[in-house]
Amino acid sequence: MIEVIDLYKEFKGVPVLKGVSTTFEKGVTSMIIGQSGSGKTVFLKCLVGLHIPERGIISFDGRKHTELDITEHRLLRQEIGMVFQGGALYDSLTVEENIMFPLKMFADQSISERMDRVNFVLKRVNLENANKKFPAELSGGMQKRVSIARAIVMNPKYLFCDEPNSGLDPNTATVIDNLIKEITEEYQIITVINSHDMNSVMEIGEKIIFLKDGVKEWEGSNKEIFKTENEAIVNFVYSSNLFRKVREAYLKETK
Amino acid sequence: MRYLKHIGKYFLMLRQVFRKPQKWSVFREMLFREIEDLGLKSLGIIAFISFFVGGVIAIQTALNVDNPFIPKYLIGFATKQSMILEFAPTFMSVILAGKVGSYISSSIGTMRVTEQIDALEVMGINSLNYLVLPKIMATMFFYPLLISLAMFLGIFGGYVAGSLTDLFYSDDYLYGIRLDFDPYYIQYALIKTVVFAFVIATIPAYHGYYVKGGSLEVGRASTQAVVWTSVVIILLNYFLTQMLLA
């Protein structure tokens, strides 16, 4: 379990996160939603250790980030997989080399064992024949899939995804969503996704945290989001006519 | 005050760079790649420039030595001294600061703005050690060889220029380049080169690593890196000369 207690982060005196507390469970796809500038990305970067919070505790299965030294931090990070918004694939390396990179750095495996693992994860993300391609030769969706493959190649305990659907067409976005959810359940990992995409939220958001101006405004599941009366989240999630109508129909049906 | 902050940050960066590599086999692979990118790929431009600079020094010295009491072998002597003491180590290092410095700064800067460095950090990799240490080792190992070649080609360029223009006799030139040869000058030049190689690898890496923003900022960081690397090389050249020769 990841436990976040009273997380506070500021930049040049401007607070971005103002005491956020929550938990993330194993095998559950958790989503952080909120408007641009609400602190979602900063929250995610605090979780993975790219930002150091001014106050608060982040505990990974009992290991508090404040009590770890640099080496322990690095060891903890080897249990973390992250899918970046732009993929963050290494341009000069092929798909195969990109995915093999964490294995080369940390795993004591022979080349053939590494290759087997790379082929296994590539198959898992449905990219069997892309081994020798460079990131520039791939579509956005394929790059995201390679990024997911690289994130899971070390069998992480924790998976973080920063807007994995940005820039993707609805079909590809659904494929990526389902892939992340399947992986979360299959490997029983803790997955935290930062997203703007309401389709994803409704589809795979088993736990949703809504941030507004650096404060946790609402927390619940994708089922509860239909029934909530919280004005801020209703205005945010149901800002389009289509979603508003869907909500009204759902509420009518469940009455 | 701002400069002091940068200097402090630069030395803090170096503290992270000089850690034990997390995996020696990966470090070795990176080192060979950097030797190719930062060293071997600069061979052509350094050979070309040093050859012609040597030629120009010889011709200019010959044209300015019109006093019959000044022996012509001084043309070879002047070319040798200029190439070994200054043109090869300093002038070529400034050229390398432009070519290699902008490459280092823009490649690391691009990795920063496309979150590739964040990806390394999230994996638990010391990104500074992984990216910068092989560059420092590659330049400090390879640039003395490159600059030695530049010295040789510069002096050879002077010889060829003399043969083509008939401004001086080859025998005089060959006598001049052997006259009063002090091996310590080579040592002095190579010490300077190693220091400059360190500067060429680290200052652009600093500018690239801490860049914020997008491609425009990467371009600006690259320009800043070249300017500051050149300034530091020129300043260090003065102090090193004072320390080693005075």
- pLDDT band of A124, cuts 50, 70, 90: confident
What is the mean predicted confidence (pLDDT) over A125-141? 89
Task: Give the DSSP H or E segment for B51.
Answer: helix B43-64
Percent of chain B with pLDDT over 70: 100
Residue A250 has pLDDT above 80, yes or no: no
* A7 and A169 Cβ atoms separated by less than 8 Å: no
Per the CB < 8 A criterion, the answer to whether B62 and B169 are in contact is no
Q: Give me the pLDDT at residue A28, please.
A: 93
Q: Is the pLDDT reported for residue A198 higher than 90?
A: no
* B103 token code pair: 């490459």
pLDDT in tens, B145-169: 999 999 999 999 999 999 999 888 8
B56-69 residue pLDDT tens:
999 999 998 878 88
Helices (H), B83-211: 92-113, 116-122, 127-165, 170-178, 183-209
- Which tokens belong to B65? 């030595």
Average pLDDT over residues A147-172: 88
Asked if residue B74 has pLDDT above 90, the reply is yes
A75 → closest Cβ in B115, B119, B124: B124
The secondary structure of residue B19, as a DSSP letter, is S
Q: Which residues, 6 or more positions from A234, have their beta carbon under 8 angstroms from its beta carbon?
A: A228, A247
Looking at residues B16-30, what average pLDDT do you find? Answer: 94
Residues A216-235 have pLDDT tens digits of 999 998 888 878 888 888 88
What domains can be seen in chain A, in order of their start residue?
A: 2-225 (3.40.50.300)
pLDDT band at B221, cuts 50/70/90? very high
Do A194 and A162 contact (CB within 8 A), yes or no?
yes
The rounded percent of chain B whose pLDDT value lies above 90 is: 89
pLDDT of residue A189 exceeding 90, the answer is yes
List CB contacts (< 8 A) between B122 and chain A. Answer: 48-50, 77, 80, 82, 160
Name the nearest CA neighbour of B90 among B191, B227, B161: B191
Residue B60, chain A, CB below 8 Å: the answer is no
Percent of chain A whose pLDDT exceeds 70: 100
* pLDDT for A253: 79
List pLDDT tens digits, range A45-82.
999 988 999 999 999 999 988 788 878 887 888 899 99
Tell me, what's the pLDDT at B68?
A: 83
| pLDDT on residue B102 | 97
Per-residue confidence (pLDDT) for residue B73, from 0 to 100: 92
Tell me phi and psi for residue B78, to 5 degrees: -65, -40
Q: How far is B122 from chain A (nearest CA, A)?
A: 6
| Interface contact A74-B115, CB threshold 8 A | no
Q: Are B237 and B135 in contact (CB under 8 A)?
A: no
Please name the residues in contact with A63: beta carbons below 8 A apart, sequence gap of 6 or more. A72, A76
Give me the pLDDT at residue A254, please: 74
Mean pLDDT, to the nearest integer, of A162-173? 84
Mean of pLDDT values over B195-207: 97
- For chain B, the average pLDDT equals 94
CA distance B214 to chain A (A): 13
Residues of A in contact with B30 (CB under 8 A): none
Closest CA to B51 of B184, B201, B121, B156: B156
In this predicted structure, the answer to whether residue B19 has a pLDDT above a threshold of 90 is yes
**Confidence band (pLDDT; 50, 70, 90) for A200?**
confident
Using 50, 70 and 90 to split pLDDT, how confident is the model at B49?
Answer: very high
Query: Is residue A255 scored above 80 in pLDDT?
Result: no
The whole-number pLDDT of residue B186 equals: 95
Q: Coil, strand, or helix at residue B70?
A: coil
* Three-class secondary structure assignment of chain A: CEEEEEEEEEECCEEEEEEEEEEECCCCEEEEECCCCCCHHHHHHHHHCCCCCCEEEEEECCEEHHHCCHHHHHHHHCCEEEECCCCCCCCCCCHHHHHHHHHHHHCCCCHHHHHHHHHHHHHHCCCCCCCCCCHHHCCHHHHHHHHHHHHHCCCCCEEEEECCCCCCCHHHHHHHHHHHHHHHHHHCCEEEEECCCHHHHHHHCCEEEEEECCEEEEEECCCHHHHCCCHHHHHHHCCCHHHHHHHHHHHHHHC
pLDDT given for residue A225 in this prediction: 83
Check whether A240 has a pLDDT greater than 80: no
Q: Reply yes or no on whether the pLDDT at A97 is more than 90.
A: yes
- Which residues lie closer than 8 Å to A217 by C-beta, 6 or more apart? A34, A210, A211, A230, A232, A233
Q: How close A69 gets to chain B, by Cα (Å)?
A: 13
**Mind telling me how many Å the CA of B99 is from chain A's nearest CA?**
20
Position B151 scores a pLDDT of 96
Per-residue pLDDT band at A168 (split at 50, 70, 90): confident
Kindly indicate the confidence band of residue A116, based on its pLDDT and cuts at 50, 70 and 90: very high
In this complex, the residue of A50, A86, A91 whose CB is nearest that of residue B122 is A50
The predicted pLDDT at position A23 comes to: 94
Q: State pLDDT tens for residues B30-46.
A: 999 999 999 999 999 99
- Tell me the average pLDDT across A170-182: 86
Q: Is the pLDDT of residue A34 over 80?
A: yes
**pLDDT of the residue at A170:** 84
Residues of chain A in Cβ contact (below 8 Å) with chain B? 45, 48-50, 73-78, 80, 82, 84-86, 88-91, 101-102, 104-106, 160
Rounded CA-CA distance B96/B197 in Å is: 9
Asked if B121 reaches chain A (Cβ–Cβ under 8 Å), the answer is yes
Q: What pLDDT sits at residue A178?
A: 87
pLDDT at A251 over 80: no
Q: Is the pLDDT of residue B76 over 80?
A: yes
Query: What is the pLDDT at residue B63?
Result: 92
